[in-house]
Structure formats: structure tokens, C-alpha cells
Amino acid sequence: MTMFRTLYGMLALCTLLLAPRTLPAQAAESLRTAEGTQRALPRAPRLPRTAFLENRTLVAAQLSPAGDAVAYLREKKDSRGLWLLPAGGGNARMLVGSTQADQLMWSRDGRWLFLRASRVLSIVGVDGRTGVRVPLGGTERRRVMKLDTSQPAAVLLGERVRAGTGERWRIVRMDARGQRTLLREDAHWIHDVALDAQGRIVALARFEGDHDALYRVRPDGTLREVLRLRPMDRLDLLGMQADGSLLMAGNPGGNFRRVMRLDANDRLQTLHQDPRGEADLDEVVIDPRTQQPLAASYRSTVAATYGIGDAQAVVADIARKLPDRDIGLQAGSGPYARWLVSERAPTLRDPRWYLYDPRNGNLRRILDDPGITANAPKEATLAPKIAIDYTASDGMRVHGFLLLPPGVDPARAPLVAQVHGGPINHFRAGYDGIAQFLANRGYVVFQSNFRGSTGHGRSYTFASNGDYGNGRVQQDIVEGVRWLLAQGIGDADRVGIVGHSFGGYSTLLGLTFQPELFKVGVAGAPPADLGWSMRWLVEAGDQGDLPDRSLRHTLQALSLDATDRATYTRLHAQSPLVNAGKLQRPLVIIAGGADRTVAIREVIHYTATLKALGRPLTLLVEPGGAHSPVDPIPREAYIFAMETMLQRHLGSPAPEPPGQRLRAYLRENLRLAGPEFAEFSSHQRRNPLLTDNSDAQE
């Protein structure tokens, strides 16, 4: 998630945790200013839980290549429609009344829209014509790669074809009427391609079996290797220039992801990178006509967007009009075409949308009718997200965020450490529904982008050295909490830990190995034995050895490949499962019954182990649920369970009573109810999953 400079600025707060030293005067003053400002504000009104379920009224919005129209997907009651808004003014009109699409792309000629859903690609004309529908996924593993900008209206598809007992991979061009053209067939999975003006593939990036590589494609189809990529190197091909150079985004040959050009002589040049030298490139804006880069955004620390080349003045003007905001940009074709601007912030649940006219500098709000903006919390009721950093006990600088509830004395408030999933992921500075929900309930929220997180450069990710058990990564989180307490932030007697997926695993670690610090935990979809979980993921999970990038090799690079006996033994020995007897603190676990990322059998086995030991525990399982809850009631149940658990053990006002549907859901799906949830379990039914260990992990 993204970062930007808030009213309070970035707090560059550095200290050694095990050997405390005085904070630099300026950083200490910034911290005191932020605390004082938040404490002096009136207490935010207590908002309903449902206010923090992120709004899906406006699903996606895209500017046409000419900048003369905005297409958007909008939820309305039980349907999702495709709408078209003229950029010059006038009313929007509906093109499609019902679609499951959640992404859309314009054709280069602006006459067609490609609507992508999880299982189908639909093509719709702006004049109301209906194009073809193409199934995605399936045995062909068909996927949409990108828009084909060499053609008036076409996309590139990646597909699998059987070849005897093996498989091969095709790149296919498909136009708006369904006409297919085979561009290349290869024995290797191709990540990305670049096309010349005639539509010929001139470069490709593919997986070679133990590494990725970038190739130039000769006119006869043969390949010439240009770059051999290191583990965790990422490369996106953005376009081909008239002089034969390739425009790219990625981190080959460097630490941070950036905008690059590979010239005709295969010399790699950096066109733009984070001026602060601490964040990866998050997004790059390309001119739809010239295919030149116009802007670059960095959101891992302080979110900022910079213009490139002739677009510098335009981007700077937009940024001045939306100060201290995270801006997302889409450009029309040509110097006088309109731009589509999204305004985002930690205190904005839903982005605000504008059209910017470079001819006069006018910034006009759009897509703001009550049906779209209804029920969004007012900004004054939400907590700003403050960027912090701290120095770990081994001297490494660790990044993170802090949310201080308005009108609350942080020294007297309970503190909750929220741990992100992945672990190859990171917290961003944008809106976070869980964090804002907790802050609204009076909790100080700490989000650590511990070493091993992404977004802060390749070396930061690899700094974990595979120590994802009860080791260095967990220590970053623990030391961050202790550092905050030492600065007078949070009540040391009321500290909790919450997280989902890897964050759930970290929650189990915290309650198991740091019970003197963490008094309660909420774990969503937690792997209780990371060694077993990583091995299962590779061998049986739906993120196993996928052709797009072998998970096994990624895990090997991160020293997390549990098919290696030494790695498995190390992670297993440090796991919450093996050390279940040490857990004494109250815990609630929330899981999906059909999770293909963290096996439900692993969650059930751990739960049964704790139950047999008589440990305090609640288990809530969504029948048929995947890795994260999607539907409204399971999502509300998730935060209700979190609020109930934290309130009982850290203190805060009692949760608002659940409605009839939520109460029924809890009664049906609480597989094990601790004392905090006794009212939803009038009788503790015998659950064979918790009393029979026949499905125990091997």
C-alpha cells in the first residue's frame, strides 16, 4: 500500500533499541508535534463497522487515448455497469448494464473497451456494439498480457498448448472482432513482450528454468540474450522507441525499481528513480501517442509523483493543486489532451477523481455524485498515517507507519502491531480499512515494513537472509513496538498483535515467544508451521510451480525453500506449532475453508493442538472461503471478531451489537468459541475437525 508527505511530515526517528540513545532533536520535536496535534483534536465519533469495508461503488476508471472520455465500472445494487463520461461535459451514458469485470482498457483508436474479469475477457464498442467474449484461465491458462498499441484495437493473450506430454506457450494477438494472429510459440513461459510499429515482437522477457532473461528478437525469430536477471529482479517492457531502444520499468543492474531505457546498443540507462533514494518505482505514466514516459510515482515511503521531460510542468501544477496528496495520473494523447487524476490519502476511503486541462490548468472534479460518494467517512474522523523509521538492534534502518487516533493521549492508549502478509509485500501510505477501524476504536496502530518487505529496494528484501522464524524478521517487529513504547507511544500493559497470512503467522510467533509484550492476538489465515506451509504451497497449493515464475526458485533465493531439508528443519523447529505449549495468551483465528494459499488442514491441526493443551482459543471458519474474505458478511465478521477480542483484553468501548445476519453467521461458523464469543455458541457442538487428528500434518 502507498506513502505521501502528511501535514506532520515524515518522522525520521532513529535509535538503537537494545542500546537506547537520544533522538536527534529535530526528529524528537517532529514526534512531539505529531502527538500534540493529534491529542488536541476532538475525539472522532465512533463509526459503524461497515464504514470501514472499502467501497466498491466505483471499481475502475480509465481515460480514453484522446483524453475525450472516461470509462468507468460502477456498482449499483446487485449489478455492475460500464459507463462512459464525456470529458468535455455532459451526462454519462451506460454501455453495459451488467458485467463482472473489474479492469478495463481502451483500444488505441478509442473505439473499443476491453473488460477483464477473472474468467472472461469481453469487448464492447463505445457505440454500443458487442464484441467477442473470450474465456480466461482454464486448461489453456489463457491470460491477458497487455494492450497491443501497434494495432487500432487488439490485445495480446498468453496461452498454453499441449505438446505430447509437455507444453508450449503462445503469444496471440486478438482484435476487437475476435480475429487471432499467432505471434510466437515458445518452450518457455514468456512474461512480457515489446512490439515495433508494425506489430512484430522485437523483445521478450521469459523464464529460463532457474532465472529470467531479456532477449532481443531478430527478424527471423531467433533470440539474442541482452540481460540475465538476478533472483527477485523484476522487468516490465513498456514500449519500443523508433531508434530501437526499449523503455522499461524494473530493477536490473541496480537496487531500486526505476524507469529505464535500453538503447539500441544494449546500454542500460536510468531515466528516473526515487530522488530520495529509498523507494521503488510504483507506477509510470506513458504517453499513448509517443510511448514516451511522462511521470513516475514512488509510494513505499513518502509518496510522490514527478514529471519526466516535457511533462514536468503539468505534473508539478497538478501536485500544487492537490498538496500533500498521493496523485495517480492517466494522460491523453498530445500536449493539449486532458489528464485523468485520482486523489488518494490515508484519510480517503475512496479516491476522488478529476479531469485536468493542460491548456488552462483547470482541475475539475468528476464522478462525485451521491451514489458514488455516499457513506464515505469524513476525513476528520480518520487518522493520518505517519511515516516513521527506527534503527534495529543490529543497526539496520527499518521503515514503518504509525496511526495516532484523533483526540487520544497516545501514552495512555492501547497499541496494536499490524503485520502485513506476504512476506514479500509491504504497507503503503494509502487508506487501510483495518488500520483505520482500529484507530477509530482508540488504538494506536503500528505497521512495520520489516526487512524482507518489498518496496524499499532489492537489498532490503534480501536483508532478511531467510530468517523468517522466531528470528531477525520477527525481531524487527518486536523492536519497533518496544521502541515506540520507549518514546511514550502506547500503554505497555495493553499491546496486541494482528495480521493476515504471513501477518497471521507473525501474530502466532508474537504470542508464543513474546508473551510478556503481546497480550492478545488476532490471526487471519495463519500458517502455523512456515516450513510445512511453504512446502505445501510449492507441491500442492495454487501458487505452486506456476509457469510465470517458479515459486520454488523465488523461495530458494530468499532462503525459504522448505523442500530443502535444512531450511524445513530450521523453520519447523521455530514454528508456533512445535512450540504450541508456550502459548498462553488469548487468540482468535479466522480462516477460509477452501483456502489454496494456507491449507485449512494446517489451521485445523494447529487449532486442535492448542485445544488439546487447553489454551485460550477461538476459531472462525468461512465455509468455502478463500484466502481472504470477499463477501460483506464474512468481512464484517472478521473485523467484529478482531474488535471483540481486542476490546476484551486491551480495553475500549464494547463493540456495537451484531445485526441478525452477522449473528447468524457467527453462530453457524464459530468452530470453537472462547469465552469472548460464548453468547454466539449456546452449545459447543462436537467438531470432528477439532477432535480427530487423523488429518494431522506429516
Confidence of residue 8 (pLDDT cuts 50, 70, 90): very low
Q: β-strand 69-76 against 293-298: which pairing, if any?
A: unpaired
- At 261-270, the pLDDT tens digits run 999 999 999 9
Please say if the pLDDT value at position 659 is more than 50.
yes
Residues across the chain: 698
Alpha helices of 77-174 — where are they, by DSSP H? none
Following DSSP, what letter does each residue of 187-215 receive, concatenated?
A: SS-EEEEEE-TTS-EEEEEEE-SSSEEEE
Q: Collapsing DSSP states into helix, strand and coil, what is residue 338?
A: coil
Please say if the pLDDT value at position 318 is more than 50.
yes
Q: How far from 371 is each of 76, 258, 314, 375, CA to CA, in Å?
A: 8, 38, 31, 9
Mean pLDDT of the chain: 89
Residue 162 has a pLDDT of: 86
Q: What is the mean pLDDT of residues 496-525?
A: 97
Closest to 71 measured CA to CA, from 101, 47, 45 = 101
Distance CA 71, CA 186 (A): 35
Residue 2 has a pLDDT of: 32
- At 389-417, the pLDDT tens digits run 999 999 999 999 999 999 999 999 999 99
Q: Which of the 8 DSSP states describes residue 551?
A: H
- According to CATH, the superfamily of the domain at 58-373 is Prolyl oligopeptidase, N-terminal domain (2.130.10.120)
Residue 358, CA atoms < 13 Å, CB-side half-sphere? 20
Q: What is the mean pLDDT of residues 221-238?
A: 93
Give me the helix-helix angle, 565-573 and 530-539, nearest 10°: 140
What are the φ/ψ torsions at residue 192 (nearest 5 degrees)?
A: -155, 155
CATH 3.40.50.1820 residue ranges in the chain? 493-529+575-698
CATH 2.130.10.120 residue ranges in the chain? 58-373
Residue 540 has a pLDDT of: 73
- According to CATH, the superfamily of the domain at 493-529+575-698 is Alpha/Beta hydrolase fold, catalytic domain (3.40.50.1820)
Distance CA 22, CA 556 (A): 40
Tell me the sheet residues that pair with 162.
Answer: 167
- With residues binned 3-state (H G I as helix, E B as strand, rest as coil), the percentages for the chain, rounded to 5, are 25, 30, 45
CB atoms within 10 A of CB 677: 21
Query: How much of the chain exceeds pLDDT 90, in percent?
Result: 75
- At 536-583, the pLDDT tens digits run 888 876 665 566 556 778 888 888 888 889 999 999 999 999 999 999
Edge to edge, what strands does the sheet with 58-63 contain?
Answer: 58-63, 69-76, 79-86, 93-96
Please say if the pLDDT value at position 31 is more than 90.
no
Residue 165 has a pLDDT of: 80
Please say if the pLDDT value at position 1 is more than 80.
no
Distance CA 246, CA 283 (A): 17
Distance CA 236, CA 313 (A): 26
What is the grid cell recorded at 507?
501474530
Q: Do 247 and 241 contact (CB within 8 A), yes or no? A: yes
Residue 77 has a pLDDT of: 74
Residue 497, CA atoms < 13 Å, CB-side half-sphere? 32
Q: How far from 575 is each of 132, 512, 533, CA to CA, in Å?
A: 50, 9, 11
- At 167-198, the pLDDT tens digits run 899 999 999 999 999 999 999 999 999 999 99
What is the grid cell recorded at 683?
452449545
Distance CA 458, CA 338 (A): 36
Following DSSP, what letter does each residue of 6-28 receive, concatenated?
A: -TT--B----BSSS--PPPHHHH
Residue 174: enclosing H or E segment and its boundaries?
Answer: strand 166-175
Contacts of 399 (CB under 8 A, 6+ apart): 278, 300, 301, 387, 388, 389, 448, 449, 453, 456
Residue 113 has a pLDDT of: 97
Q: Which of the 8 DSSP states describes residue 656?
A: P
In this structure, of 115-129, 229-243, 533-547, 575-589, the range with the lowest mean pLDDT score is 533-547
Distance CA 574, CA 533 (A): 13
Burial of residue 143 (CB within 10 Å: 0-12, 13-18, 19+) is middle
